[in-house]
């Protein structure tokens, strides 16, 4: 649709001016419900004790949802910390005016990065003594003190000092100049498993390490251990802070956790039909003729493909929603387009909206459904949608999220 209103960039077509919010929806887009983000923050905080803070994990562009707006919404709704994975992610939030404490979950090792962290007032994770020494030396040279978070490996076998050496690691950092310990934390490997055996073992190791640290006369100002799954499943591991990623975006880390708290999905993926045509029996569809019609079919071409994050491995398995009905995808998914069998949808026209992930009337397709078909996890599905899909807030003028 064309509007007579001027656009921010002043672009005009003839005597009309395009409405930018409608233009970016002409092919394919992602809708983000920031009210759902706020709802999820409130719901999660209800299961936390008043002394436990919420850290919103907004790494990887907030799992594909748009880091800045998600961070702003989460903080307004009651989160008090943010977590990201890379230095660049933290700088982007600071440049946008975010003042809340930001924890970098990834490892930083060079003096140049350390100086940049100090400049932007970010808070790094220290994983081992060697890294701590580099930080202390660099900060001493530039005359700055930095709050740091110490990572203990209790069984993830990723970043961190092994749990039975944690006391020595903390003692070293406590003695080094220009480092101010802000927290000690660990990360769970199997918190989404209905069998809690390994999580309990990691918890025991964490408790043992903290006891040994305190025995040396050092009390960490904060402890944090729980990811989304542990936050939902076990209050004994909430400590002073919980780190919530997937739950923030309205998805559950495992099916058995669905009854723990009411979460609302935040993201919907939509695209438009660009052409409708009829093909006769025996007609091949798309590259490689992975699908050949066995009868006359009406097919719709949709302007979205694997370059947007719709995996080619979903070819001939994907279903989408049109007018509240499930419709099957046929043929190989291509870089920018895919095809649907719309024989059962009467009078379909180019321009109609297709929902790939989300709800349409009483039907819903979730990221979990895609993950099951692809043999992966919903985290990967969310993070896989490319940036050429515009992120569109369905609430252009949101009310106060601090309910």
Active site residues: 59, 287
How many angstroms separate the first and last alpha carbons of the chain? Answer: 36
**Count of other CB atoms within 10 angstroms of residue 30:** 25
Question: For residue 270, what are the β-bridge partners?
Answer: 29, 355
- Residue 397 token pair: 């003028």
C-alpha 135/C-alpha 116 separation (Å) is 12
- Residue 75 backbone zone (phi > 0: left; psi -120 to 50: alpha; other: beta): alpha
Are residues 363 and 311 in contact, defined by beta-carbon separation less than 8 angstroms?
no
Helix, strand, coil proportions of the chain in percent (round to 5)? 35, 25, 40
15 is in an annotated binding site: no
335 is in an annotated binding site: yes
**For tokens 């109609």, what's the residue?**
352
C-alpha 31/C-alpha 264 separation (Å) is 14
| Residue 168 CB-density burial (10 A; 0-12 exposed, 13-18 middle, 19+ buried) | middle
**For tokens 């220009």, what's the residue?**
178
**Count of other CB atoms within 10 angstroms of residue 217:** 8
> What residues are designated binding site?
158, 335
> What residues are designated binding site for substrate?
158, 335
């Amino acid at each position: 649709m064309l509007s007579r209103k001027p656009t921010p960039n002043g672009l005009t077509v003839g005597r009309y001016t395009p409405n930018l919010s409608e233009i970016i929806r002409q092919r394919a887009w992602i809708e983000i419900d920031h009210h759902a983000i706020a709802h999820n923050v409130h719901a999660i905080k209800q299961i936390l004790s008043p002394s436990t803070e919420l850290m919103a994990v907004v790494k990887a562009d907030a799992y594909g949802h748009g880091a800045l707006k998600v961070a702003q919404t989460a903080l307004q709704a009651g989160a008090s910390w943010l977590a990201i994975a890379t230095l660049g992610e933290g700088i982007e939030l600071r440049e946008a005016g975010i003042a809340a404490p930001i924890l970098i979950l990834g490892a930083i090792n060079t003096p140049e990065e350390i100086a940049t962290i100090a400049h932007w007032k970010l808070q790094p994770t220290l994983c081992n003594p060697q890294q701590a020494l580099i930080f202390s030396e660099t900060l001493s040279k530039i005359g700055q003190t930095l709050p740091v978070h110490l990572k203990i490996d209790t069984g993830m076998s990723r970043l961190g000092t092994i749990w039975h050496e944690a006391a020595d690691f903390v003692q070293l950092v406590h003695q080094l100049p220009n480092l101010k310990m802000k927290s000690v934390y660990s990360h769970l490997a199997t918190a989404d498993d209905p069998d809690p055996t390994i999580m309990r073992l990691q918890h025991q190791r964490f408790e043992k390490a903290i006891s040994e640290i305190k025995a040396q006369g050092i009390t960490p100002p904060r402890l944090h251990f729980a990811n989304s799954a542990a936050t939902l499943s076990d209050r004994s591991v909430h400590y002073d802070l919980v780190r919530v990623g997937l739950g923030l975006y309205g998805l559950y880390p495992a099916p058995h956790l669905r009854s723990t708290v009411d979460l609302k999905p935040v993201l919907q993926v939509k695209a438009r039909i660009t052409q409708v045509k009829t093909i006769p029996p025996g007609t091949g569809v798309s590259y490689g003729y992975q699908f050949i019609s066995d009868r006359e079919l009406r097919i719709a071409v949709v302007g979205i493909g694997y370059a947007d994050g719709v995996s080619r491995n979903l070819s001939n398995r994907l279903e989408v929603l049109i007018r509240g009905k499930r419709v099957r995808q046929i043929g190989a998914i291509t870089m920018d387009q895919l095809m649907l069998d719309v024989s059962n949808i009467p009078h379909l026209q180019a321009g109609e909206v297709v929902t790939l992930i989300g709800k349409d009337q009483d039907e819903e397709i979730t990221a979990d459904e895609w993950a099951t078909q692809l043999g992966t996890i919903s985290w990967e599905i969310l993070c896989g949608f490319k940036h050429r899909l515009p992120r569109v807030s369905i609430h252009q003028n949101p009310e106060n999220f601090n309910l």
